[in-house]
């Protein structure tokens, strides 16, 4: 048998010695089919669609912006329904717009509460690294109940009117924020400070404040208790138009500051150790975010009363629909979801059940149901 020369073998002598050879499609004598895609073309096409960021692909970006567009439409439809439904005057007439203007106060309150609850809850869950907890564990709602109950207990039925007005509204906000500042300053600034211990102390203090409020409520007369109950249920009707200007200003400034902290919140969502390895002053940033969250929750609670599960419901839907880690994208979506939820609840209760403004009832039922479903699906906290 004659020896085979190097020119007759596919590949160079080095390739044959190493056991490798050129791809079959590149071997001499085998023409490549014009319909067969080249390996370089496939990789180039994949690289063209691959990118890093909060929306890593075109499909994710399309999904996010389509979801935002749908939420905008739903929010506009809910607001229009509240303004126009069951309006006895002809659409476009002067009487129609007068009635719509009277209803506009409720819309403004809904927008402010959705903004405060949605942004505060997402930021709070980020720094606690837990999607179950809500800012209500800090004891704001229990403190609000104690303040309202004390006013009625010591001043009688007139105590409710004593707590209305811009001055009293700002006083309640200052009291809640001071409560949070003292709690965080005392427990987190120390070297041995721990967020979990701080939250546990907040839960215990909230339980104590709630027990004190319950004790005072049992000492009230039936008429005083009936007046107080209307204030202790989260309701759009609790908002005072004179307080809206202050509420909008505080919420806008605080929300802007949290939005500017979006990049740091993205880093904090990676966990304490990772954030510190990346150069973030974790404890300092955590205290700043907690104080900003305290302002938003204080504004919401002082304006309409406690709504325990509203923030959880908004945040959970924002995580599912947004599907992104970027807080600067999650915050606007949470705001729109909050408007849809609150305006829809207000419309259903007002026009179907004729329960004027008591959105706290349906929020507690729906939010509590979603909370239980989330726990049962996950199987753990």
* Average pLDDT of span 81-97: 79
CATH of 58-378, one of 1.10.3470.10, 1.25.40.10, 1.10.238.10, 1.10.540.10: 1.10.3470.10
* Residue ranges of domains in the chain: 58-378
Residue 22 has pLDDT above 70, yes or no: no
* Average pLDDT of span 70-78: 94
Determine the pLDDT at residue 14.
Answer: 47
Determine the pLDDT at residue 200.
Answer: 82
The C-alpha atoms of residue 334 and residue 315 are separated, in whole angstroms, by 6
Q: pTM of the entire structure?
A: 0.80
The C-alpha atoms of residue 261 and residue 360 are separated, in whole angstroms, by 30
Q: How many C-beta atoms surround the C-beta of residue 62 within 10 A?
A: 11
The C-alpha atoms of residue 292 and residue 251 are separated, in whole angstroms, by 10
Per-residue pLDDT tens over the stretch 95-113: 778 888 888 888 999 999 9
DSSP-assigned letter for residue 134 = -
Mean pLDDT of the chain: 80
Per-residue pLDDT tens over the stretch 142-194: 888 888 898 888 888 777 777 778 888 898 889 888 888 887 777 666 665 67
Assess contact for 83 and 110: CB atoms under 8 A. no
């Amino acid at each position: 048998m004659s020896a085979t020369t190097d020119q007759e073998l596919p590949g160079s002598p080095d390739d044959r010695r190493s056991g490798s050879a050129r791809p079959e499609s590149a071997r001499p004598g085998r023409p490549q089919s014009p319909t067969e895609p080249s390996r370089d073309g496939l990789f180039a096409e994949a690289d063209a669609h691959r990118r890093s960021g909060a929306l890593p692909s075109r499909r994710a970006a399309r999904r996010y912006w389509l979801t935002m567009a749908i939420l905008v439409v739903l929010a506009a439809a809910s607001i229009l329904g509240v303004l126009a439904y069951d309006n006895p005057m002809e659409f476009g007439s002067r009487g129609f717009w007068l009635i719509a203007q009277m209803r506009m106060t409720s819309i403004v309150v809904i927008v402010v509460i959705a903004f405060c609850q949605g942004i505060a809850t997402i930021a709070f869950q980020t720094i606690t690294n837990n999607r179950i907890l809500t800012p209500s564990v800090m004891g704001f709602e229990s403190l609000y109940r104690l303040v309202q109950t004390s006013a009625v207990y010591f001043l009688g039925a007139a105590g409710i009117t004593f707590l209305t007005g811009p001055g009293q509204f700002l006083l309640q906000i200052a009291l809640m924020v001071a409560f949070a500042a003292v709690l965080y300053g005392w427990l987190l600034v120390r070297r041995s400070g721990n967020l979990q211990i701080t939250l546990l102390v907040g839960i215990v203090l909230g339980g104590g404040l709630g027990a004190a409020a319950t004790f005072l409520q049992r000492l009230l007369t039936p008429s005083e208790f009936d007046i107080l109950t209307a204030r202790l249920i989260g309701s759009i009707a609790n908002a005072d138009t004179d307080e809206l200007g202050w509420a909008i200003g505080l919420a806008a400034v605080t929300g802007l500051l949290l939005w500017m902290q979006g990049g740091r919140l993205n880093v904090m969502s990676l966990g304490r150790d990772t954030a510190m390895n990346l150069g973030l002053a974790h404890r300092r940033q955590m205290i700043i975010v907690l104080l900003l969250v305290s302002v938003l929750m204080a504004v919401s609670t002082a304006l309409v009363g406690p709504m325990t599960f509203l923030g959880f419901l908004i945040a959970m839907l924002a995580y599912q629909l947004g599907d992104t880690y970027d807080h600067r994208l999650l915050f606007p979506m949470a705001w729109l979801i909050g408007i849809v939820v609150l305006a829809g609840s207000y419309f259903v209760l007002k026009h179907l059940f004729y329960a004027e403004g008591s959105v706290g009832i349906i929020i507690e039922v729906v939010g509590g149901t979603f909370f239980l479903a989330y726990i049962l699906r996950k199987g753990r906290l």
